[in-house]
């Protein structure tokens, strides 16, 4: 078997590629990497990224490029260059939406975890300190929620040029 797809052991960006490969009737090795294995494997990946598609000794990353390549092999393309353009525009729009949803969900998870910590600290009379860049970003939502909740906190805003000095002293949860 000369075709191999390597990705994490869950759906994510690799699942649509698995579907396309099966639809195209391409026999492939489905290599699934666990999160525990990832740090060891990452350095061997081009640009430290997955999914990784291998075919006849050549490798490539970037899920949309891989999907377009497999789609062409399966004849899932437009009849004209314009139809190809429209297909690409739809795919890229869907990807933009997927990225926005992922960012939103990540922000929601981070905010939830931080607020749990803050509420714990306020319940046991510990001080709360919010350290973030000297801009709005993700911390703005947290600042708003803390103020709205009446929780006193120290608001430390780090200039971006000082971040590398401050970063080693930071911890998560």
- What pLDDT, in 10s, does the model give residues 11-24? 888 999 999 999 99
> Which pLDDT band, with edges at 50, 70 and 90, does 1 fall under?
low
pLDDT of residue 12: 84
Q: Which residues of 138-152 are buried (b: 16+ CB within 10 A; e: fewer)?
A: bbebbbeebeeeeee
CATH number for the domain whose boundaries are 113-169: 3.40.30.10
pLDDT of residue 172: 52
CATH class of the domain at 3-77 = alpha beta
d(CA 51, CA 15) in angstroms, rounded, equals: 10
Query: Distance between the two ends of the chain, CA-based, in angstroms?
Result: 45
111 pLDDT above the threshold of 80: no
> Which pLDDT band, with edges at 50, 70 and 90, does 173 fall under?
very low
- The ranges of the chain annotated as CATH 3.40.30.10 are 3-77, 113-169
118 pLDDT above the threshold of 70: no
- Sign (positive or negative) of CA dihedral 103, 111, 145, 129: negative
Q: Which of 28-42, 57-71, 90-104, 113-127 is predicted least confidently?
A: 113-127
């Amino acid at each position: 078997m000369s075709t191999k797809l390597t990705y994490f052991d869950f759906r994510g960006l690799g699942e649509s590629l698995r579907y396309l490969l099966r639809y195209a009737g391409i026999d492939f090795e489905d290599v699934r990497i666990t999160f525990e294995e990832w740090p060891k494997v990452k350095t061997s990946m081009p640009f430290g990224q997955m999914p990784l598609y291998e075919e006849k000794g050549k490798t490539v990353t970037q899920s949309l490029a891989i999907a377009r390549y497999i789609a062409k092999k399966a004849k899932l393309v437009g009849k004209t260059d314009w139809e190809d353009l429209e297909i690409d525009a739809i795919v890229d729009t869907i990807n933009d939406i997927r990225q926005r949803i992922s960012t939103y969900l990540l922000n929601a998870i981070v905010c939830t975890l931080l607020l749990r910590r803050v509420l714990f600290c306020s319940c046991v009379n510990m001080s709360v300190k919010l350290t973030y860049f000297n801009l709005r970003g993700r911390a703005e939502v947290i600042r708003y929620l803390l103020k709205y909740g009446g929780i006193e906190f120290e608001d430390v805003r780090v200039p971006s040029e000082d971040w590398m000095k401050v970063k080693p002293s930071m911890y998560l949860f």
